[in-house]
């Protein structure tokens, strides 16, 4: 008495092999989603840091001329450095250092360097933005 006469279906071994292949494919896809999620989070933090640095540079450009006189006086002695903590909009974990130095090649111009640092999953990350500024153009 053989039970296989005219019956259709899959054996237990075929079902187990199929389930194994589906599980293997699912784990690969899940790993890809995890990596992409981490990369998206890193890109988001880098974008926020870039926006924060840009906002600091714009705030410096918007200062009136009489406020720049103190900065220029300090910069003549070397470099003028100040630290800025993150804001509610940019993120509290962001910290920035703004350094103004007299440009050696072009008199009257100042190099402005903004370095934003933050902690990303236990690793220290940073972003640097550099520009040249002419305070004489301030009104």
Q: What CATH number did the domain enclosing 123 receive?
A: 2.20.25.110
pLDDT tens string 43-78: 888 898 898 889 888 888 877 767 766 666 666 666
Instruction: Report the C-alpha gap between 2 and 38 in whole angstroms.
Output: 56
> What mean pLDDT, rounded, does the chain reach?
80
- Parallel, antiparallel, or unpaired for β 123-133 and 95-102? unpaired
Please state the domain count of the chain: 1
pLDDT, residue 1, reads 47
Q: Is residue 92 part of a domain?
A: yes
pLDDT of residue 95: 85
Of 12, 111, 10, the residue nearest 60 (C-alpha):
111
Where in the sequence is the domain holding 97, given as residue range(s)?
46-137
Residue 21 lies in a domain: no
Which pair of tokens denotes residue 67?
């406020």
């Amino acid at each position: 008495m053989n039970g296989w006469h005219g019956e259709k279906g899959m054996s237990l071994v075929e079902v187990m092999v199929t389930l194994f292949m589906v599980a293997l494919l699912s784990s690969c896809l899940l790993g890809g989603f995890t990596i992409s999620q981490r990369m998206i989070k890193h890109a988001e933090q880098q974008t926020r840091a870039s926006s924060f640095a840009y906002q600091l540079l714009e705030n410096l450009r918007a200062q009136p001329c009489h406020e720049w006189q103190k900065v220029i006086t300090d910069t003549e002695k070397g470099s003028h450095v100040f630290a800025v903590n993150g804001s509610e909009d940019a993120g509290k974990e962001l910290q920035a250092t703004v350094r103004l130095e007299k440009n050696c090649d072009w008199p009257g111009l100042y190099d402005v360097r903004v370095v934003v640092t933050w902690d990303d999953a236990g690793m220290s990350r940073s972003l640097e933005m550099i520009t040249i500024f002419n305070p004489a153009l301030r009104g």
